[in-house]
Structure 1
Amino acid sequence: MKSLATLPTKGRDLRLDLFRGVANWGIFLDHIPNNIVNWVTTRNYGFSDAADLFIFISGYTVAFVFARMMLERGFIIGASRLLKRVWQIYVAHVFLFVLYLAEIGYVAQSYGNSSFTDDFNIRGFLANPAPFLFEGLMLRFKPVNMDVLPLYIVLMGVFPPILWLMLRRPNMTLAASALLYLMARYFGWNVAAYPTGVWYFNPFAWQFLFTFGAWFALGGSAQAMPFIRSRTALVLGIGYLLFALVMTMAARSDELRALIPPDIYGAFNPNDKTNLAPYRLLHFVVFAFFVVRLLPRDWPGLEWRMFRPAIKCGQQSLEVFCAGIFLSFAAHVVLVESSGATWIQIVVSIVGILMMTALAYYRSWSKNADKAPAKSKPIVAVAG
């Protein structure tokens, strides 16, 4: 079957690295409660946030990396390489899962603060570790803030046949993904969590954003470009972003909320993140269209020194993400056990981002060192 998708241009797209790095920083800051610094993140100014950006870029990147391999070397090779990456992410998740549980449990016992075990959903684990550990390995039990990686693992694990179909019928595949999204919202489909409840990120809903990212990489952006560059898209997009800003700020301001009819305010608050509300999805799509319109792939600013730390964090995204989860709890403990003053909030936020960035530079250096060819030693002739 002939491919109808447009393969992305070879070479690294620094826009992906930049925004993935920013998303990792945003997730870290958003996971620190009562932190004034997380006012700089996007969740305060619209319906979508760093998690939406992370999942979209993940879908885009998977298509970017594995689509050409699947076409040139066949489905089996492409799928096996993709699943190898899934295994690597799963191993990273298990490693983080164990460390995170140990971190929370140790701190809770050392400081005699049982609220940590309740706030981060590990009281059941401490009381009866075996079933919780097993369910954690099955991705059903997740301490607070550990919801993104299981979603990522599941979405990538089922993606090989979807990518195969998208390479041949990209628009049809996106339409099927949209239908699943709508049906999941209508029928209330989700995956059971352990010991109770459902997944915080409903995979039946969030799969659409992941698939949309892949579609965008495989020619979708080119198809949408006439609309993206149109005056209509510009006016409607700006209007919708301003509307989202007002609705989001109203949740934090009693004076502003009083100016909005209750029925309108209630339609957008609280923000339905679990099931990826349509208004949230639309907000992110508008944001993505604006990025494509205003930030071309060859923008010289991507080489500016000021963007290098974020780009480096995006290039080492898995390690940086895991470190951010671990560090966000450490920062939370510092704020709880100290005065929590504004200057402390700023310090722990900056220190955390600096540590994530240092890890990214180290991992980049380490990978390059592993790839460096060994220098051949001169052969010395020995006279007989």
Structure 2
Amino acid sequence: MLDGRDPRIDFFRGLALIFIFWDHVPQNPLAQFTVRNFGFSDAAEIFVFLAGYAAVLAYGKIARRDGMMITTVKILRRAWVLYVVHIFLLALLMGIVFFANSHVETRDLVHEMGLQYFLSNPQQALVDELLLRFKPNLMDPLPLYILLLMGLPLVLPALLRKAQWVLGLSVAVYLLAPWLQWNLASTDGGMWFFNPLAWQLLFILGGAAALHRPQVRDTRKLNRQPLFVAAASYLLITGVIALSWKWPQVHDAFMPKVIGEWLYPISKTNLSPVRLLHFLALAYVTAKLLPEIGWTRHWLARQSCRMGRYSLEVFCLGVLLAPLADMLNALGNDALAMQVFSALLGVGLMALLGAWLDFNKRLNRPVSVVPA
């Protein structure tokens, strides 16, 4: 099913961008309200899943209309744009962090942002940047998306015809990656923080969801649907566990040692199964609770939809705003009022960018002339 744009997708992409920005600002009190505080997954899962959903929704239409040759060219052209954006974004981020670090005396922002590698070995850092191996803090999602998008032409034809085969292969790679320690090399002998061989499963699941959206909604009461009850129960249990992390003594008191040894560590790099299951449960419950799109017409929802519609530009702005917000907080002696102000100001600027891009797009639309 490849018909139309679902505004709920844009809304949750925008919300994920807000959460990513808030989570990347140290000591931000509003980060206590992001999804990572109420379960095992966070905004990264939302971002990657919806990236796969949007990519397959867009390029699947093109493939069926114009064929895979044209589609492959357009996908690779988009990946090239993302690659160029990645290079320029990193250059801008380094400039901003060096500027912020010169104004903050109490902390080393260059070290905290993972930019010391550039200072110690600038020539190799530039080479690693071109090879997507040099990824300071805040920059990890973009190289992951570039790589997943570049791989889309290899799986899109099969995904359009036999999605279950692609899903089966994707699950196999996901399971084998941590077992055989498959990952890509990063700087200083490290590995990618987001292992693309594991995170590709979320991208593929998003694409499969775009192709097979349900046509008929189940009108039974949700509490009589076993799958919904199971998913909601899992969200409740994981939410309690995640909240208990804020109070280690409480967590140690009620968490059985055997379960703790099985559960931890919850790997983000390899997309731990409990993280994946938490996101899938969250997505399923959300889709069930919000089956209609009327609520996306409210003013606040429209701002998030607009940010999600221009997710690349808004994500890049959020990356650049995070160290500036951190600098403001440090200069304000980490006062609560300044922390809240910088967090809300950043979101306001991201919303303004979305509004400007939307306005600019409308200006560039061709005007239809009605003959006299």
> What's the TM-score, normalizing by structure 2?
0.93
Tell me the distance in 2 between the aligned counterparts of 1:222 and 1:374.
Answer: 35
**Corresponding residue number in structure 1 for 2:361:** 367
Alpha-carbon distance change, 330 to 133 in structure 1, aligned in 2, over 3 angstroms:
same
1:8-31: per-residue Cα shift (whole Å, max 9, x none)? 22x221011000000000000000
The CA deviation at 1:72 is: 2.1
Q: What is the Cα deviation at residue 251 of structure 1?
A: 1.6
User: How far apart are residue 137 of structure 1 and its match?
Assistant: 1.8
| C-alpha deviation, 1:43, in angstroms | 0.2
Shift of residue 111, structure 1, vs aligned partner: 4.2
Residue pair 1:17, 1:313 contacting (<8 A) in 2 also? yes
2:242 to 243, 248, 253: 248
Deviates more, 1:125-134 or 1:52-61: 125-134
Q: How many aligned positions are there?
A: 368
The whole-number CA distance in structure 1 between the counterparts of 2:320 and 2:263 is 31
Check 1:40–1:112 CA distance in 2 against 1; reply closer, same or farther (3 A cut).
closer
CA shift for structure 1 position 221: 4.9
Q: Do 1:251 and 1:269's aligned partners in 2 also have CA atoms closer than 8 Å?
A: no
Shift of residue 222, structure 1, vs aligned partner: 6.0
Shift of 1:227: 12
Cα distance in 2, alignment partners of residues 334 and 114 from structure 1: 13
Q: Which residue in the other structure is 1:4 paired with?
A: none
| 2:187 maps to which of 168, 182, 194 | 194
Larger radius of gyration: 1
Identify the match of residue 289 of structure 1 among 275, 284, 288: 284
Once residues 246 and 149 of structure 2 are traced to their aligned partners in structure 1, the CA distance between those partners, rounded to angstroms, is 36
1:17/1:312 contact within 8 Å kept: yes
Change (3 A) 1:127 1:224: farther
> For residues 106 and 289 of structure 1, do their structure 2 counterparts lie closer, same or farther at Cα, with a shift above 3 Å needed?
same
Which of 252, 256, 259 pairs up with 1:261?
256
Pairing of 1:150-165 with structure 2 (within 5 A): 150-165=143-158
- 1:271 is matched with 266
Report the CA distance shift for 1:176/1:233 in structure 2 as closer, same or farther (over 3 A): same
Q: Does 1:89 align with 2:82?
A: yes
Alignment CA distance shift 1:139-1:42 (3 Å): same
Name the structure 2 match of 1:128. 121
1:340 aligns with 2:338: no
Which residue type is aligned with residue 365 of structure 2?
Answer: K
- SS of the residue corresponding to residue 27 of structure 2 reads coil
CA distance in 1, matches of 2:169, 2:217: 18
Distance across 2 between alignment mates of 1:326 and 1:115: 17
What is the letter of the counterpart of residue 10 of structure 2?
Answer: D
Aligned to 2:322: 328
TM-score (norm 1): 0.90
Q: Show the 5 A alignment for 1:141-220.
A: 141-219=134-212
What one-letter code is carried by the residue in structure 1 that aligns with 2:334? Answer: G
1:15-54 matched pairs, under 5 angstroms = 15-54=8-47
Say which is worse superposed, 322-331 or 218-227, in terms of deviation: 218-227
Equivalent position SS for 2:96: helix
Specify the code of the residue in structure 1 equivalent to 2:353: L
**1:227·1:233 contact (CA, 8 Å) conserved in 2?**
no
Instruction: Give the superposition deviation at 1:372.
Output: 4.1
- Report the alpha carbon displacement of residue 114 of structure 1 after superposing the two structures with TM: 6.6
Distance 1:228 1:280 in 2: 27
Q: CA deviation at 1:113?
A: 6.2
Q: C-alpha displacement at 1:262, in angstroms?
A: 2.4
Alignment deviations for residues 324-356 of structure 1 (CA, whole Å, 9 cap, x no partner): 011111111222232101111111100000011
Q: Give 1:36 deviation, angstroms.
A: 1.1
C-alpha distance in 1, partners of 2:230/2:369?
Answer: 59
Structure 2 unmatched runs, 5+: none
* Closer, same or farther: CA 223–269 of 1 in aligned 2, 3 Å: farther
User: 1:125 offset after TM fit, Å?
Assistant: 0.6
Residue aligned with 2:360, SS: helix
Taking only the aligned residue pairs, the percentage that are identical comes to: 33
What residue number does 2:131 align with? 138
